[in-house]
Structure 1
């Protein structure tokens, strides 16, 4: 058991600013009290400790208070991705078997019709008495559930426990330390592990979160120049926009800003060099939904000496390369630590997450002679577009269901803006236009998963056993 984080933080630093959003700000005590009011309203709507609910809302102060209310009740939260199609949302809602869906009023029309009761934000914003919070949390209790695509077309619901989030925040603190008036810029969606992990760090470390509804490079750059925040998380496309804006206005980052953690895929070497010239400290990271955010991080002092590396395992985390102890030998990356998920839910609940305590990531990489991790491939076929993970099998499954499609292969092609974008290679059984297939994808996939290009081909590359070789698809161009 561990003490209720929110209540303990409010007792330790009640008057410290915890959250800013647009022009408003809240202290830890104000957030704790408001979250207990929200918790009582949730109880009035039939939500009880141990229930599983889905949450669907844009990053905002309202969403933070809804999340904190669920934490006060120790409710399992299924974080729904706003970028998913109704078809994808329907699958996750049904697979998770949630009791309620807590939804931002303005987003109701984006949700599918499902046999689950909706609770709108406006219903629980009404001021009422405060709920009595759960004083102690079980470490093995599931706090969040986030879906991540697997090697099949069906995403897996990953459990993240109180212990997982606690371990992740603790190892991060040992890596970065704290300075006076610490503050994180949060432009990552809270439904992502990177965004949610910042909320956990805020409570556990007692630091302020400057929350953005969406990424705004002009406002972020203004904060970097004035030094009003100390850290943030970025993906490559965000970092490039920040760098371009700094260069355009001929400005450099304040020495008060400590670090930008860069994840969601490899960061181009040129970005790191440009960042160094602008006094922007960047640390590359490696992590996944199954590890509740970071597992390894490259220290800033090694950023240029070890360009391309994701650094070393953070304190209490372990990394090994399956089948070898020799440096520079490629193999599957395996991870061990208290931050690793204990399991999945729904139709994948039977799948083990570890073998002999090690999480087999499916990612290929190596450790150099100093123990620095280099990720060669984030799974052999994974496409990383603007920090989003896209699995070809999921797109192939949708396109294959179209009546005009005989077979399809999907791979990632280089893209200047997003790093990679999915491209589809389609073998037809009857005539159909590219526009029709793209519209079909848009109906059934999140926007970022829709192929940027669709190519009609006479055959797909296969091996002797008839298995399609995705790595050969780009040669068809």
Structure 2
């Protein structure tokens, strides 16, 4: 008997939450809040307008918008049409955005009022691109397309096909030309399931605060968890430590996703206002790379429930997360793989044992199957279903992952491997240091040597020489930075991750 390939469909996630809990608050911003029923109706109405632009199943639709309700509703309207979301990084230059739009072969560009001027520039360069301007009508609290009629007969989808592509998200391009990562509904589903099994799911009380960029996978995956779990999310346009802390104290926030620099600023604001977090905050999900140990110890002393996580666009956000029960016992670990994810450490094509560093490799239904029209990149990165992340780490004797660094950031000096994150953690342990970044510098004798860039805390008078003496007491000689440069700020991407490749430009 021949087995025929079948696709697995699920009910539309937002529709199901609207059916089950129509009056429950689904999403809120500082100005507006909607129930699941209202949210669902907004998505349907916007989908009927998008259909008028010719957007249909399989259409690739770019979205250039800030964090807010127009972005969120647009995501779900595209799901109703079976169209593919291509979120644009708002920090890219015009040329970079034009390249991306042509590379992905987008048929339409949707933008909001914040990026209307850039959208016009894009339209002038790509006149065949259909364009729609999203607006939020304050009086009616309605998201709609400016001057576009509805198509009441538009064929909207009531089901979600798990194997279908939900989004194409471009990587930051640290190793050359950016690549479009294929994100399927199956990836979003299994990521949400794996996260809930690890962090717990409290449908009646959970509230996830979203202050990460929605054009990154970390933000987009929270939008999916919102409707899969049927929980409330609070969306902030930008990160502001004071407003975020206020929301945690006053709005029943139970989970928040941040990176280390954001958490540092939140704790500093907490000290300045002489406040503390309420018991309702049960999880501070900390991603974006290895966290400085002093930061984790500071959170432990305050009983701030930090849970480290490791993931990337190709793993649909979280792949490995430390369970709350292990947060203090395994300080500094990213945890164990989520249930759907398999993990192994590879070095020169061989799986290595506990405590041995190597490339972190992942496999499972929440891991991408490849890059859009990049068969060479897909073949180089994914073999037999295993994704080579390019990150370096090791597993301890209990199978807990410790992330050391990006392989591309690894400094090889005189044959020794030096991990920038280790040096950064040492510098960050100094009370006068607010931020630290380390990269390699070419050297005739050693091949490379590490150099460091440091932002001091306000009012600090410490010198580079004093910091070097401090580091010399804590690092092996070959790991000691050749120089420490004091700077005003470090280069970071829109989600707060340190861009080590940009550090030499500070010289």
Shorter-chain TM-score bucket reads 0.7 to 0.9
Question: Which whole-Å CA distance do the structure 2 matches of 1:320 and 1:256 have between them?
Answer: 35
Q: Deviations over 1:355-380 (max 9, x none)?
A: 11211112111100011001112223
Instruction: Confirm or deny that 1:164 pairs with 2:187.
Output: yes
Structure number with the bigger relative contact order (C-alpha 8 A, sep ≥ 6) is 1
Question: Which whole-Å CA distance do the structure 2 matches of 1:5 and 1:410 have between them?
Answer: 51
Judging changes above 3 Å, is the alpha-carbon distance between structure 1 residues 417 and 167 closer, same or farther for their aligned structure 2 residues?
Answer: farther
Kept in 2, the 8 Å contact 1:95–1:346? The answer is no
Stretches of structure 2 that go unaligned for 5 or more consecutive residues are 1-8, 136-143, 411-419, 425-436, 440-447, 458-490, 492-496
Stretches of structure 1 that go unaligned for 5 or more consecutive residues are 393-408, 419-440, 442-446, 457-477
Instruction: Confirm or deny that 1:363 pairs with 2:371.
Output: no
> Structure 1 residue 448: deviation in Å?
8.6
Q: Deviations over 1:401-420 (max 9, x none)?
A: xxxxxxxx9998444489xx
Return the match for 1:67 from 56, 75, 80. Answer: 75
Q: Deviations over 1:148-188 (max 9, x none)?
A: 03453200000100101001011001011122321011000
Q: Deviations over 1:308-340 (max 9, x none)?
A: 211100112111112235210111111011001
Return the match for 2:126 from 96, 114, 119. Answer: 114
Judging changes above 3 Å, is the alpha-carbon distance between structure 1 residues 210 and 175 closer, same or farther for their aligned structure 2 residues?
Answer: same
Kept in 2, the 8 Å contact 1:253–1:278? The answer is no
Moved more, 282-291 or 60-69: 60-69
**Structure-2-length-normalised TM-score:** 0.75
Question: Which whole-Å CA distance do the structure 1 matches of 2:174 and 2:239 have between them?
Answer: 30
> Structure 1 residue 345: deviation in Å?
1.1
Question: Which whole-Å CA distance do the structure 2 matches of 1:250 and 1:290 have between them?
Answer: 40
Return the match for 1:296 from 315, 320, 328. Answer: 320
Instruction: Confirm or deny that 1:339 pairs with 2:366.
Output: yes
Judging changes above 3 Å, is the alpha-carbon distance between structure 1 residues 244 and 172 closer, same or farther for their aligned structure 2 residues?
Answer: same
Q: How many residues align?
A: 410
Question: Which whole-Å CA distance do the structure 2 matches of 1:106 and 1:246 have between them?
Answer: 31
Query: Superposition pairs for residues 388-407 of structure 1, below 5 Å?
Result: none
> Structure 1 residue 61: deviation in Å?
0.9
Judging changes above 3 Å, is the alpha-carbon distance between structure 1 residues 181 and 410 closer, same or farther for their aligned structure 2 residues?
Answer: farther
Instruction: Confirm or deny that 1:148 pairs with 2:171.
Output: yes
Q: Find the residue that maps to 1:345 and give its secondary structure.
A: coil
Question: Which whole-Å CA distance do the structure 2 matches of 1:312 and 1:218 have between them?
Answer: 32
Task: Report runs of 4+ in structure 1 exceeding 3 Å deviation.
Answer: 125-132, 149-152, 346-350, 382-385, 409-418, 447-456
Question: Which whole-Å CA distance do the structure 2 matches of 1:257 and 1:82 have between them?
Answer: 30
Moved more, 247-256 or 36-45: 247-256
Query: Superposition pairs for residues 76-155 of structure 1, below 5 Å?
Result: 76-111=84-119, 112=122, 113-115=125-127, 116-122=129-135, 124=145, 128=150, 131-150=154-173, 152-155=175-178
Instruction: Confirm or deny that 1:231 pairs with 2:255.
Output: yes
Question: Which whole-Å CA distance do the structure 1 matches of 2:451 and 2:174 have between them?
Answer: 15
Q: Find the residue that maps to 1:363 and give its secondary structure.
A: strand
